[in-house]
Each structure stands twice: as C-alpha cells, then as structure tokens.
Chain A
Amino acid sequence: MDRNAKLPETEGGTILFNTDPIIIKHHYEVDYLHSYAQDSPFFVGLTKGKLMGSHCTGCGRRYATPRGHCMECGEPTEWVEIPGEGRVHTFTTCHFGGEAFLKETPFTLVMVEFDGVDTLFLSRLIGAKPEEVKIGMPIRARFLRNCKFKPTDVYFVPM
C-alpha cells in the first residue's frame, strides 16, 4: 500500500458562468449509429432522383411518406414511386428554428399533396418568396446530385 498516494494535477479547468448558484458549462455530444432500417429504400430512391412511397398490399392505401406496415390495416406495404409533381397542401416560412437549423433560416416548409396518394410529404420549398407561396400551388421535386442521405436531398420548386 502507498500511504502517500496522490492524484496528478492537470492544467484543465471548468468554464464557470456563476457562483451563486454555481453554474458550469457541461458539453454533451453523441455520435449515433442511426439506421434507417426498413425506411432505407426511400433514401436509396433519393440517390436515383425518385420519391419512393408505400402502397398497402391489404387495403390499397398509398403513403407519400413511407412506412413498412399500413397504419390503417396493419398489412405490409410495398414500395411505389410517388409522382414528382404535387401541390402545396400547407406551408410556412420559419425565421427561427432548432439550433442545428438556425443557419438555414429563413426557410419555407411545405406539406406536399399528390394525386392518387392518401398522405402528405414534408419538404422544403425554394424559388418562391414567402408571400408568393399559396395553398394549392403546383410544385415539383428536385434532387441534390451529391446525396447526403437525408430527407432534405429532395426539395420542391414552383412549377
């Protein structure tokens, strides 16, 4: 046993904001191994300039945003290509956002509706000023050439 055991001192310190009460900076960061799992073919579709949705093999319902099983009847779905042209179902222009998106503001969000598809698709709209965007306005999908494997690889522009 070492009765004179001693921890080594370091040069590191703590960022202190206040002393009453003591408020310190605590950094917190995580890298996830995020799997798109059964949604993966959608992101593969984006690399080919295709919007892939789901078609229920049981009740025939069509989803613009894919899901592996039908929300209405529980049956498995199959992949179908969604038309690249649709309409603005609703929209907004965000002047603020979550921290990760602040640098992108202002940006316009749209929920897109498609003929023959039962649900909507959330995306960004560019090429129109906020006051130019209208519900019902025809819009079409464009795709990034250099994929990031994010849903923002597809975006919409006015037709």
Chain B
Amino acid sequence: MRPVYMVSGGITKFAKALPQTDFRRMVKDAFDYALADLPGLSRDRIDGSVCSYFSDHFTRQLMAGAMVQDYLGLNPKPSRRVEGGGATGGLCFQSAWESVASGRMEVCLAMGFETMGRVNTWKGNEFIALASDTNFDYPVGGFYTGYYAMMVNRHMHEFGTTVEQMAKVAIKNHLNAVYNPYAQRPGRLTVEDVRAALMVAEPLTILDCCQMSDGAAVAILASEEMAQKLGGTPVRVTGVGSGTDAMRMADRPHGEVILLPHENREEYADLKYPGVHSFRGGRVAAQNAYRMAGINDPGQELDFVELHDAYTSSEIQTCEDLGLCRYGEGGSFVDSGAPFMPNLDYGLSFSGSGKWRPLPVNPSGGLLACGHPVGATGLMQAVFAFWQLQGTIEKHLKDATLQLPDPRRGLIHSHAGTGTYITVSIMERV
C-alpha cells in the first residue's frame, strides 16, 4: 500500500430540510467548493469516485449515486456506492483511501449525502429503525433512540455515569457549533436546559440526540505524487481501521476487554465486555488504525477527535472505545474538561482532574449540533479534520475560534447501528 493524502474537501450547510436543492445539486455544491479550494485540481484529474448514502427510502431513487456521478460530469469514470448505516460516510472515506492506496486510482473523490427532510421525523425514525433486525428488534422497539437509551442505562449501572455528564457533552458540542456556520443546531445550553428538554427515551432528551438533516460533503484523496503535483496543503491519512458487531444488541457477548497497547488486563478484571454498554467494533477499528499510524497511547498522541456523537451517551461510550480514557471513565473524562475547547467559556466548572491532557472532542460541534445527514456525516468529519490540520479553519468557517493552535494529528470516527459497523481513520499534518 502506498501513502494517501487528503487534498481538498467541501461541505454544504447542514439543515433540517433543504428543499431547494436535490441530492445531486447538494453534492455538486460541496464538490465545487472543494475544487475551488485547490486550483491545481481540475475535474479531469479525478480518476473515479465512491458515493455514500444510507437509505434509498429517504431518496426515493435507486442508483442515486449514478445520478450524482453524471451530474458532476464524471462519466464514464468508475464509481460505486458504499453503504453501512451511520458509518456510511466513514466507509466511503476508507473505500476511497483503498482506491488510492492500492494504486488503482491517483485521485479519488469520496462524496456523500442524505436527504432526510423529505419525510417527517417519525417516518425518518422508522426508516432508520429498519436498520435493526426486522424479525426481532424493529417490531418491538422500532426506534434507535430507545436502543441507545437502554445502552446508556446499563453504562450508568456499570460505571456510575450520570445524566449531568451527558448534558455536558451536549453543552460542549452545541457551543462549539456556535462558531461553525455549517452547523444545523448551534446553541448555548445549560445542564438544566438539556434535562428539561422533551424526553425522547429515558434518560435521553431531545438535546441528547442528533437531528435529521439534509446535506452533502466530499473529500478528495490522492497519491503522494499527485498530492505534490496539485499543490495546496495536503494532509496524510496515516491509519485506517474498521470493525463490526452483531446487528442485534441482544447477541453481544459478555467476555474480556479487547486491550489497547496502553492498557492491561488487571484493570478490567471485573468487566464483562462489551455487553450492551460498549462498542467492541469501535475498539477493533481504533486498534487497527492506531497500529497502522504507530499510535501507542491515543490520549497522549492525538490532538483532537471528531467522533460519531449521534447521542451524548455514545460520545462518552466512544471516548472509552478509542482509549482516550479507560472503560468506565468516560463520564469523569467529561467532568475533567479535557474534551472541551480550551478557549471557550461553557459556563461549567470542571473537576480539574489532571489525569487527562486536553484533547478536544468534536471541536466542530459533532453530529449533535452540526446534524447527521447520514451519508455525508463521516465525510463532514474528514473535512473539518482536514481544515483543522491545514490550519485553515478561519478561512472556511469565517471565524478562527475553533482553530486549534498547533494540531498535528486528528482522529475521525464513523459509527453505524448499535455499534454494528465502525470506522476510525487517523489524519496527520505533513
């Protein structure tokens, strides 16, 4: 495999509904942004594409990816669709990475979208719930927030995680998004606001959950030779990993923790893993990506993380899977202030625990505040991470607030189902 670089990216504004543009036009807008941002790159330099979108039900159009390909003027170049629930965008990014790493393509376009505003929210919840076992799960629960609520109740039982700690995740991500014009639901919240909001599935309120969104994003990946030729400020993709778990949460084993290099067996002697409180697919994805990127202690060696916070609870769970803190410490990690932006005032006082070094999680605002147009989400994370590492946040967001001072290495994480498909990719400044 040869080195792969991200050379440009673009996203549309994420919104509850964007009826003025269809999926083709949304991707076109993100694509044109990415092309304009790298003058050395023209359409004819692109060898092919991978398209990501989750549900044909939302689009009411099969082979929608083929229509995006022709709308972008990329015929007769190769293209394909990838789909893996909420991780669709992350899988798309890694599929484009494979196209370049294998030598099949010099430049590959990863493009994704979702148009969830075409149905009402409850119908959208039904479509998403069809991504759970339709014999045993969908007819009983029929609702993903219900599944995640059960997971976090068990997490609270095992580890003492609190709803206040979850609310702090909501406060963090919504406030970060105030400085991100692409975000769908920025806001200044308090713990009381989050707890007093509409209860969806106990203990998750509507402010603990991401929203349905319309939007698109693209990431353009290239070989080293081509990245040099195209100019600009490329960012290297130094690690990719992915993992899976049983579709049915009920089938998750209760065994031993899969360890990262900085952990040992003794600290988890009493923990039944992954149960329904942790995502072993995420742990395996991280393990593989860290191995490829040469990371031994992620908490010390990463400068920021853009992870799949479809729920405040899943951000806490995922910080543990990624090894940013130990299993069971996700709530305390939030309390410590480590995952918050150091330059923002969240109206919170932190525990001051020096156990963790500052490591901003979801500086963009994450899914909670940016929105979650499923097929675009994993690529949105790549674009924000790319801009962070380039040092171009101010240029693209028209505001420098979210630019970290000297980020060298970031992680993006995309997640499907109840942890069914998960991808982790590592991006580094060169």
Binding site for B on A (CB under 8 A): 18, 21, 23, 26, 28, 34, 36, 39, 63-65, 67, 71-72, 89-102, 109-111, 118-124, 130, 135, 150-152
Contacts and interface: CB of A to CB of B under 8 A. Distances in A.
Contacts of B198: 95
Closest 3 CB pairs of A and B: A98-B126, A92-B149, A90-B154
Interface string B116-140: 0000101101101100001111111
B201 A28 contact: no
A64 B250 contact: yes
Report which residue of B138, B146, B276 has the largest number of chain A beta carbons within 10 angstroms of its beta carbon. Answer: B146
A115 B125 CA distance: 34
Contact of B249 (A71, A122, A152): A122
Contact of A67 (B143, B203, B251): B251
A159 to B, nearest CB: 20
- Please report whether the interface of chain A is mostly helix, strand, loop or mixed according to DSSP: mixed
Contacts of A18: 19
Given A36-B135, A99-B125, A109-B146, A119 B140 contact: no
B154 A123 contact: no
A61 to B, nearest CB: 9
A120 to B, nearest CB: 4
A100 B126 contact: yes
A94 B149 contact: yes
B317 interface: no
Contacts of B157: 90, 135
Contacts of B295: none
A98 B129 contact: yes
B430 interface: no
5 contacts: A65-B250, A92-B146, A135-B153, A135-B154, A152-B140
Given A95-B201, A100-B126, A101-B141, 9 more contacts: A65-B248, A90-B150, A92-B202, A93-B202, A94-B143, A94-B149, A98-B123, A98-B142, A122-B137
Interface size class of B (residues with CB under 8 A): 35 or more
Nearest to B275: A89
Contacts of B150: 90-92, 109-111
A127 B225 CA distance: 67
Contacts of B63: none
B58 to A, nearest CB: 11
B257 to A, nearest CB: 17
A98 B251 contact: no
Contacts of A119: 250-253
A97 B251 contact: no
A151 B136 CA distance: 6
Contacts of B154: 89-90, 111, 135
B246 interface: yes
Contacts of A123: 140
B60 interface: yes
Contact of B141 (A39, A71, A94): A94
B229 to A, nearest CB: 40
Given A109-B146, A122-B140, A122-B250, A95 B153 contact: no
A65 B125 contact: no
B42 interface: no
Given A151-B135, A151-B136, A97 B146 contact: yes
A101 B246 contact: no
A97 to B, nearest CB: 4
B153 A120 contact: no
A109 B157 CA distance: 16
A122 B248 contact: yes
A132 to B, nearest CB: 12
B145 interface: yes
Given A99-B122, A130-B202, A151-B139, A94 B276 contact: no
A97 B149 CA distance: 12
A1 B198 CA distance: 66
Interface in B245-263: 246, 248-254
B115 to A, nearest CB: 12
Nearest to B135: A39
A18 B248 CA distance: 41
A111 B140 CA distance: 11
B151 interface: yes
A150 to B, nearest CB: 5
Nearest to B146: A94
Contacts of B202: 92-93, 95, 130
Contacts of A93: 201-202
Contacts of A92: 146, 149-150, 153, 201-204
A114 to B, nearest CB: 11
Contacts of B251: 63, 65, 67, 71, 119-120
Contacts of B19: 18, 21, 23
B349 interface: no
B136 A102 contact: no
Contacts of A122: 136-137, 140-141, 248-250
B414 to A, nearest CB: 23
A120 B143 contact: no
A31 to B, nearest CB: 14
B143 to A, nearest CB: 4
